[in-house]
Structure 1
Amino acid sequence: MTKMVNCKACNKEIAKGVNKCVHCGKDQRNFFMKHKVLTVILALVILGGIGSAMGGDKDSASTTAPATSTTTKDKPVEKKVEALKVSAADLAKAYEANEVNADKNYKDKTIETTGKIDDIGVLLGQTFITLSAEKDFAITNVQCFFDEKTEIDKIASLKKGDKVTIQGVVDGKSMNVGVNKCTLK
């Protein structure tokens, strides 16, 4: 004996589990079952965003490292790490073309990147600026995360479309290319 349920559109009795009503032809499946491809894409975007936000707490090269000087006994001298200069568009393009090669060239290295602000926000408590890859419908952009309060205060005065230069340490690609420990230049 088959269980009966009511149609979502015409409210007439139909067999449970059918895809379409035999009376009015209305599809009985829920949104996610009707749009399986869209559901998979949406799930990947959400997982990628979470992975990108969570993937940046590794101890990697910092922008400055203390060094001792032979001429000064009491005061350490800070040694500046040379930053690789690369535009946000070129960095995103390198990761889209070959993630393994891009990791070899940029991951855990300090970069100085310039680009146009595509988004400003906070994700899971971390303040970020997303720099545009400067192409229509780009899948990969450069997402820069800021920890310092002084830097976050500077971000409050920026807006989408502004051109900025940011220095930070590349964490690799999740959905976007992640850059941590960022400072505005």
Structure 2
Amino acid sequence: MEAANWAEHTGEQFWTGKDITPHALLAKYRLDEMFLGFSRGVPVAAMVLNNQTHSLQLDEKSTRESMFMRKLTVRRDYAGVGYAKQMVDWSRRFATERGYTLLNLICECNNHRLRWTLGQFGFNELDGVNGKGKPTRFFQLDLDKCAIPISKHAKQSFAQELLSSPTPINPLLN
């Protein structure tokens, strides 16, 4: 909920509070696709990671070689200390261990700082087409060619969290 409020405040509403309740997430994603990043037992970051393009249209080869990150968020009071990078690094390892060569972050944003940050993580900004035939933006990282080192803490710092439904996700993030 915090992430939805922050995005709305910045003028870019990636999703609404209704989109990120456990009920809404479980209707769209499997439990084993939802991840929380923890710092000293406190959930500080969240994301969805799977191999489903959903509404993004890619060529068959890219689709077959890709994992997709969605709803990557870091609690505002933990922003700027490297948790987003650790989530990306964990995802890089996770995808590589499963034989994927591309990591795509689905993020239709205009925020220059966020776009710059994703570039610092090794992502290239690409234009694509969504399922409705409309132009969309996403970020792609070539796992075989990325020169950005993976944090040594990425594997240790994160665990999968099972969300109960239909209680609001907000208590997990406070």
Structure ID, larger Rg: 1
Higher strand share: 1
TM-score by length of 1: 0.22
Query: Which gives a bigger RCO, structure 1 or 2 (Cα 8 Å, sep 6+)?
Result: 2
TM-score by length of 2: 0.22
Higher helix share: 2
